[in-house]
Chains A and B, each alone.
Chain A
């Protein structure tokens, strides 16, 4: 909540913002301190809220020792980072409020991650941390490198998250539950679980920047220092380590576990260390160092032996302490001096002594120098590996020592560079003002802790022990101490430190050797190469399939429809057998007429002929309806076909007369093939569907209820305006939209309305001639046709007719007027504009449909009004009539609108 508020407040938050942001984290820290006693003693605190019980996903939270360690890191370092940002962000950038808010949001999601006891919930928080990390890295959205790095981080960790989800689902299905503690207490087995584990490991490796998923972490250094400190050293990257640690005690006997974990961890440790030695940018050096240390942590926690678990927890704590401090110091230097390239830093002047102390001590902790907590942790690590509870432990130990040598070397290199002794003279930045005490304070606090714990590590005995015991209850009580006597771990530490110092002193020669490694492709190269390949592939595929041509698109759609349907019919549908060949003689005549006219309409070369033949097809359809027994239908079809033909003529009179044949024979063949495929599909579909009816048709009940419930004897009309009135309401809305669309298309750019008589261009006279005979005839016939349409409207409920037919017949009357006198005659019919008629119809129907709501009924509930009128006698009017009136007006309005669109003089408008 606090996070969202801060994000929203942007830069208006002011100087108090970091402290507001720190409040929830400080509260968490306090709560942790209060519950630590019980939790570390082995009594976890749980809380559970049911969320989706059917899927086994609940909001289960569980604070045990291992989680407590991470909560300590998240909240403690979080508070310090926010205190640090109070000074770091004092330049008042535009994204500051957002940065702080996102940091708090991230802290919340990270806390959820370590506290989650349900695997799916854990995944949810996992993805949340990826998203907040993406937003944080790219917070300065004007920086191109930051945006690219944010995208890289999101892609890599997001894909890993997908793998994690798949693995979690597999394991959860095998175990029968998604509860983490239940799965770990009684781990399932089997191939599915092995595959699931591998996927979970992929997810953990991608989040913790292990090879080969490591390249996003150095790139993420483009983010600002608070982000790097918090996310990419102390908390988010440790999420993978956390996951490995959780799963290790239960699953480390599965055959994929130890090889993958130890292998990936060792490779990462060595490669990260080597890369770190080559860096000139201090932050990237620390980033590669983090990568290397994460590999180390994964090796330890992944081994799962009791000593290794304790050692791993100690290393997690130590790493958090020194890495965060080092990142903060780098940020201070960058803030004060403006650069973090070692080649440009000069020796620090006076006032920088406290910073120097902090740097040296934390770097020493990183290298494992005695009297720092880093040394304690390293001793434990070596001891755990030397214990030998697993195979190849000698080899692993040797490689780990090699890795620690590298760590010592780059720590020395880091310290040397930070103190400004690596700067090439001439370019050095030496005038940096020293940082204020409050700026340095958080890092100094962390360093002080490192030293205190290095001298008296027994203070964290309970934490490390409690954490390890939460993972494996057989862990014995832990005693961390500075001095264990002369033993193997001490010797190994000495070897590592000496080796690291030697590497550092010989750095010139080492650098030449390492430069050779620069010719190998790096992780970043692999990432960019993959991404580029995906993009190129996408371009090629899109170019192939979407080439811009409409016939291609339509052809693809129709072919797919035909093939899929045919496939489904052949695979699943039962063949009901061949039905009768012919129903009646009438059918034969009508069908022959249909097919012949359709073929002719498609084959002729003149547009006019095609339009007229289409009209003939429509009349043949009307004949079919008569044979089938649909009176209303045939009426409507005849009327509409007439109007359609008129429409065609209106538009086609302007287009060229002939179709030019321009198509290649190959194209024609493809079209014919698609057409045949679709035809065959429809043939099969019709025969199969037509013969497969098993249930009683519902229209029987409609026929029974037409008179009692619907109040009408024309069943089709009753269905249209009463039983299925919603369909009709939708239909007239569609008609309205089509009408508006056609007017808009046809008359774009010219506002219809009051029109002055168009000026004839010079030399051309107006060619609207009014034939007197036609004029008089139309004027006589027009009122009769209008009355006829009204009759159809009112009688439609009990006889063939209805709103649709009435409206179309009225439209036909309008067409007559057009033929007689042109568009002006149509416009002179009434003062109402076409869209007024259209809108009024829609309004009437909608109001009729909604009216019953006012009286407590349902929408479109029928009502009957009876009365005695003086001349007409007893009159019964149903609400269906009002609805039908609306339909009538809409259809009439559509015809008027169409004439408004196309009915003008046949001249190209001057543009």
Chain B
């Protein structure tokens, strides 16, 4: 890990975050891809540099660390799957709205503006109680 590599990863994460916070799904997808690239940078550079980890082409010292590479390979392929899924989302959004903007959640906005309904908390007990007590005419 060198300062340069750490800075690169940080830059990728920063740009990715900036894009993820946007409203256009295309930009969000690019942001997620960049986040994935940043994570891969962190992972791969956490292991030692060296020659490609193939046994038989020389001594086993000086080989690159294979475990982070295997993990990064897994991560890359899964990012590909996620990107495919997100693009399907964008496609669907286009089918429905001819654009790929991420809309606000209607239910959440409803609750934020009007509050949730309270049921079952006020039976008729409170009012009926007062009714009975006030009528003190017991004769």
Interface residues of A (CB under 8 A from B): 144-149, 151, 218-219, 222, 275, 278-281, 284, 413, 422, 507-508, 511-512, 514-515, 518, 522, 524-525, 528, 531-532, 535-536, 538-539, 542-544, 546-551, 554-555, 558, 578-584, 587-588, 591, 594-595, 598-599, 601-602, 607, 610-611, 614, 617-618, 621, 624-625, 627-633, 636-637, 640, 643-644, 647-648, 650-652, 654-656, 659, 662-663, 671-672, 674-676, 678-680, 682-683, 686-687, 689-691, 697-699, 702-704, 706-707, 713-716, 719-720, 724, 727-728, 731, 734-735, 738-739, 741-743, 745-746, 748, 798-800, 804, 891, 894, 898, 901-902, 908-909
Quote the shortest CB–CB distance from A245 to chain B (angstroms): 31
Count CB-based A-B contacts (< 8 Å): 396
Q: Is the CB of B22 within 8 A of A551?
A: yes
Q: Is the CB of B66 within 8 A of A702?
A: yes
Bound together, the chains give a CA A810 to CA B7 distance in angstroms of 36
Q: Is the CB of A587 within 8 A of B40?
A: no
- What 4 A-B pairs have minimum CB-CB distances, sorted nearest first? A690-B1, A148-B123, A679-B14, A629-B64
Quote the shortest CB–CB distance from A288 to chain B (angstroms): 10
Q: Is the CB of A591 within 8 A of B139?
A: no
Bound together, the chains give a CA A706 to CA B55 distance in angstroms of 8
Tell which of B51, B87, B107, B116 touches A902, judged by Cβ atoms closer than 8 Å.
B87
Q: Is the CB of A525 within 8 A of B126?
A: yes
| A536 contact set on B, CB distance < 8 A | 115
Tell which of A618, A671, A707 touches B18, judged by Cβ atoms closer than 8 Å.
A671
Quote the shortest CB–CB distance from B21 to chain A (angstroms): 5
Tell which of A525, A591, A691 touches B5, judged by Cβ atoms closer than 8 Å.
A591
Quote the shortest CB–CB distance from A422 to chain B (angstroms): 7
Q: Is the CB of A738 within 8 A of B85?
A: yes
Known interface pairs A514-B136, A601-B30, A629-B50; A748-B92 also in contact (CB < 8 Å) = yes
Tell which of B4, B53, B104, B111 touches A549, judged by Cβ atoms closer than 8 Å.
B104
Tell which of B81, B85, B108 touches A745, judged by Cβ atoms closer than 8 Å.
B85
Interface residues of B (CB under 8 A from A): 1-24, 26-27, 30-31, 33-34, 37-38, 40-42, 44-56, 60, 63-70, 72-74, 76-78, 80-85, 87-92, 94-95, 98-100, 102, 104-109, 111-113, 115-116, 118, 120-126, 128-130, 132-139
Known interface pairs A507-B138, A741-B85; A687-B124 also in contact (CB < 8 Å) = no
| B73 contact set on A, CB distance < 8 A | 632-633, 636, 716, 720, 804
| A647 contact set on B, CB distance < 8 A | 83-84, 87
Q: Is the CB of A524 within 8 A of B125?
A: yes
Mostly, the A contact residues are helix
Bound together, the chains give a CA A534 to CA B85 distance in angstroms of 41
Bound together, the chains give a CA A144 to CA B118 distance in angstroms of 13
Bound together, the chains give a CA A281 to CA B122 distance in angstroms of 20
Q: Is the CB of B64 within 8 A of A628?
A: yes
Q: Is the CB of A595 within 8 A of B115?
A: no
Q: Is the CB of A554 within 8 A of B94?
A: no
Quote the shortest CB–CB distance from B33 to chain A (angstroms): 6
Bound together, the chains give a CA A799 to CA B52 distance in angstroms of 10
| B126 contact set on A, CB distance < 8 A | 524-525, 528
Q: Is the CB of A713 within 8 A of B56?
A: yes
Most buried by B among A508, A550, A647: A550
| B88 contact set on A, CB distance < 8 A | 651, 741-743, 745-746, 901-902
Q: Is the CB of B120 within 8 A of A724?
A: no
Q: Is the CB of B74 within 8 A of A145?
A: no
Q: Is the CB of B112 within 8 A of A651?
A: no
A222-B123, A656-B99 known, 18 other contacts, Cβ within 8 Å:
A508-B137, A518-B134, A532-B121, A549-B104, A579-B2, A580-B3, A583-B49, A587-B5, A599-B11, A617-B37, A629-B51, A647-B87, A651-B94, A655-B94, A682-B42, A698-B67, A703-B55, A742-B84
| A148 contact set on B, CB distance < 8 A | 120-125
Bound together, the chains give a CA A716 to CA B74 distance in angstroms of 11
Tell which of A518, A548, A631 touches B52, judged by Cβ atoms closer than 8 Å.
A631
Quote the shortest CB–CB distance from A286 to chain B (angstroms): 14
| A697 contact set on B, CB distance < 8 A | 47-48, 65, 67
| B111 contact set on A, CB distance < 8 A | 539, 542-543, 546
Bound together, the chains give a CA A671 to CA B21 distance in angstroms of 7
Known interface pairs A624-B44, A901-B91; A640-B27 also in contact (CB < 8 Å) = no
| B44 contact set on A, CB distance < 8 A | 624-625, 628, 630, 633
Tell which of B69, B70, B77, B120 touches A151, judged by Cβ atoms closer than 8 Å.
B120
Bound together, the chains give a CA A697 to CA B68 distance in angstroms of 10
| A676 contact set on B, CB distance < 8 A | 14
Q: Is the CB of B113 within 8 A of A543?
A: yes
Bound together, the chains give a CA A277 to CA B64 distance in angstroms of 89
Q: Is the CB of A610 within 8 A of B27?
A: yes
* Closest A residue, CB atoms, query B89: A745
Instruction: Write 19 A-B pairs (CB below 8 A) sorted by A numbering.
Output: A219-B123, A219-B125, A518-B136, A524-B126, A549-B104, A580-B3, A591-B5, A598-B37, A611-B30, A633-B73, A674-B17, A674-B21, A679-B10, A683-B10, A697-B65, A707-B55, A734-B81, A800-B52, A800-B54
* Closest B residue, CB atoms, query A690: B1
* Closest B residue, CB atoms, query A147: B120
Quote the shortest CB–CB distance from B135 to chain A (angstroms): 7
Bound together, the chains give a CA A738 to CA B92 distance in angstroms of 15
Q: Is the CB of B21 within 8 A of A583?
A: no
| A538 contact set on B, CB distance < 8 A | 116
| A628 contact set on B, CB distance < 8 A | 44-45, 47, 49, 64
Bound together, the chains give a CA A36 to CA B50 distance in angstroms of 85
Bound together, the chains give a CA A599 to CA B14 distance in angstroms of 10
Q: Is the CB of B123 within 8 A of A279?
A: no
Q: Is the CB of B18 within 8 A of A675?
A: yes
* Closest A residue, CB atoms, query B118: A535
Known interface pairs A542-B112, A659-B24; A672-B83 also in contact (CB < 8 Å) = no
Q: Is the CB of A581 within 8 A of B4?
A: yes
| B120 contact set on A, CB distance < 8 A | 144, 147-148, 151
Bound together, the chains give a CA A578 to CA B70 distance in angstroms of 28
Most buried by B among A595, A648, A651, A691: A651
Bound together, the chains give a CA A100 to CA B14 distance in angstroms of 64
Bound together, the chains give a CA A902 to CA B3 distance in angstroms of 42
Known interface pairs A579-B1, A621-B40, A674-B21; A651-B87 also in contact (CB < 8 Å) = yes
Quote the shortest CB–CB distance from B25 to chain A (angstroms): 9
| B8 contact set on A, CB distance < 8 A | 591, 594-595
Q: Is the CB of A602 within 8 A of B15?
A: yes
Quote the shortest CB–CB distance from B30 to chain A (angstroms): 5
Tell which of A144, A742, A908 touches B123, judged by Cβ atoms closer than 8 Å.
A144
Q: Is the CB of A594 within 8 A of B122?
A: no
Q: Is the CB of B70 within 8 A of A716?
A: yes
Tell which of B11, B63, B72, B125 touches A703, judged by Cβ atoms closer than 8 Å.
B63
Bound together, the chains give a CA A680 to CA B11 distance in angstroms of 9
Known interface pairs A147-B120, A699-B67, A715-B54; A599-B18 also in contact (CB < 8 Å) = no
Q: Is the CB of A678 within 8 A of B17?
A: yes
Bound together, the chains give a CA A800 to CA B55 distance in angstroms of 11
| B77 contact set on A, CB distance < 8 A | 636, 640, 731, 735, 804, 891
